[in-house]
Every structure is written in structure tokens, then in C-alpha cells.
A = this chain, B = another copy of it.
Amino acid sequence: MQHTYSYQSLYSFTSSVFTRIGCDEQAAALATKVLLSADMRGIDSHGIARLIGYVRLWEAGRINATPKICITHQTPSTAVVDGGSGLGLVVAPYAMNVAIEKAKIAGTGWVSVKNSNHFGIAGYHAMMALDHDMIGIAMTNASALVAPTFSIERMLGTNPIAVAIPAGNQPSFVADFATTTAANGKLEILQRKNSPTPEGWVQDQVGNSTTDAHALKKQGALLPLGSDREHGSHKGYALGSIVDIFSAVLSGASYGPWAPPFPAYVPMPPDMPGQGLGHFFGAMRIDAFRTSEEFKEHMDNWIARFRTATPAPGHEKVLIPGDPEREMEKIRTIEGIPIVDSVINELKELAEKLEVDFLS
């Protein structure tokens, strides 16, 4: 059912693929690092399993492997970046670096990006700020799969938000989540197993709650965080909307139901109001607010206190955002990364088609 590979093995294969489609060495290395950070952190839906999807977008002429990425507008604390239709995996770190450089001088930096593509996991980009003693924020819009509260039409992507906050002796606080009840990747896992979903994840094409994991293929929709009005789905809908507006309306990317779809076989929506996918990044220097030492001391105290919050019966302890992914990264660094057979087979075909050495 699955096979385990070392990071080095996946790295070598993935960077060969990116090189083969025309990325220069540096871009291929960066795209590989960002993509595989998902596999390392246990977010398998966003890692090497998506590699073939990126290649298909390139084949369809929707990704430029040698993009001209540039700043089109800026102020001391803001910029708009044009991703030149490049891999989001490369455009996003560029834009996050712009935010970090702005923050060094202005205290904070905020960058909205247009004309980009899927950027991997939001958490990677937010975490870039940590080494600079900054808080990092990353979000992106995505293919429309989510129906707003009271609707049956797919208007928003799963539009994730990531926030990374440095601590002192404690590991960093890293939240990274889709603004839907369940991320699409979790749904895909149930689809592969032909298992039902819990109530409240998806609705069918007429808006009834369903547990059919294949509902999206039948014009159903993912539900915003909160699932239904009574449980706050209007809040999840608002959050997804804010991500869409910050990422795409602010930058000039394509928004809402017009966001370019990730699957290359899905035709581009007609009359797109902007260019490509949009992202939004923020970097806030800790010492633009209080000394880094003081802040970290209190973050350590915050984390330690939450870790010792009384657990509910049947649960061992309270987790801090980022704990499960960090734990997974430790394990996979030692034990390697398991890849399911269906993905291995796809990658094998990809290797043959592109004439690159397959995973060893």
C-alpha cells in the first residue's frame, strides 16, 4: 500500500523534475524544499503528491518555469509582487522575503501577490519570519470549492491562514489551517479509502448535509469552518473571504469563483477579473513592539501554561499549534517519508515521461 523514501531520495527526484521543466538550479532547489516541507510535516496532500499537478499546469502553459518576478508598487511597509505566472513555490518565498526586508526598516512588512500559482503549505512561508525574530503570516486564495453560508455555489477556495510566532526555549507557535471545517486533503484521504466523511464537512449539490466523500465530484461543496449557520459557518465564510480579498483583490489577482483551478484539466473560468492566484504575506518584527527577550519569555510562559491546561478525560494533553507537525518532522527525518502506491505509480509515469531517474 505504501513505500518509505528518504528525504534525500525525494529531494533528488523532485528537483530533477523541476529542472526538467525548465527551472534554473536555484528555483528548482527552492521549489523542492518548499514542496517537501509538507511531506516532512505530515501534510501529505500538499507535498510530492501534488508534483504531477504542477507539471500538468506547466504543460498547459499556466506556469512559467523562468518567471520575471517583480515588485510593481510599494511603500515603506507594503508591496505588491507580480509572480510572473511562476511556481507559487518560488514566488511565495520571494514575496515573504520582501515582507521581511520591509519589516527590518519599517517595523512590519505586508505583501500582496498576483499572477502566482499554488504555493505549497502556507506554514512554510510564515515560518521564514522566525529566524529574523519576527512573526510571520501567510495566506492564499485557491480554486473555488467552498459554498458560502446559505449557498450551494462554490465561491471560495479552502483559503488557508498560517501564523508563526517565535518563542524562547519553547518551540515556536505555528498555526496553519484551511478556513473550512476540513481541508480538501483530508477529504481526499477518505475518497481514496471510499470512507464516509463526518457530518458537517461537505454538502451535496442542493445544499443538504452529506457524508459522501465524493460529493465535490457531484457539484457538492466544502463547508466553511463552523459547518452550518448555527455553529458559526458565517465566521468561516468571513475568514475565507478576508483571505480572498487580502490575497487577490488587494493585489490584482483573480478572486472568488474566478480563482484559477489547480487541476489543469479544469478550464480557466471565463472573464477572469485579475491575474493568476493571489497570496498575502506579513512580517512583524517583535522588537517593533517590545524587546525580543521580554516577548520570548512571555511566549514561553504562554506555551508552558497552555501545555498544562487540565486535559479532558480521554485526552493526554493540550497541544500547541505546530506540535503535531513538529513531531511528525522529527519522526520522518529519522524514518523517512511514506508514500502511498497510487502516488508512487503517478510519479513513476511522470519520471518516464520526463525522462528523469525515478525514486531510488
User: Which residues of A pack against B, CB within 8 Å?
Assistant: 73-78, 80, 105-108, 110, 112, 135, 147-153, 155, 163, 165, 173, 175, 177-182, 198, 200-201, 203, 206-207, 225-227, 230-232, 234-239, 241-242, 244-246, 249-252, 255-257, 273-274, 284-286, 288-290, 294-295, 298-299, 301-302, 305-306, 309-313, 315-319, 321
Are A163 and B242 within 8 A (Cβ)? yes
Chain B residues with CB under 8 Å of A150's CB are: 311-312, 315-319
Number of copies: 2
Q: Assuming the A-B contacts A80-B289, A245-B299, are A207 and B312 also in contact, with contact meaning beta carbons closer than 8 angstroms in the complex?
A: yes
Chain B residues with CB under 8 Å of A284's CB are: 78, 110
A75 vs chain B, min Cβ distance (A): 3
Complex CA distance for A161 and B305, rounded to whole angstroms:
23
Are B231 and A181 within 8 A (Cβ)? yes
Within 8 Å by CB of A108, from B108, B242, B251, lies: B108
Minimum-distance CB pairs A-B, first 8: A75-B107, A207-B312, A175-B238, A150-B315, A78-B107, A78-B288, A153-B310, A77-B77
Chain B residues with CB under 8 Å of A75's CB are: 106-108, 285, 288
Complex CA distance for A255 and B244, rounded to whole angstroms:
30
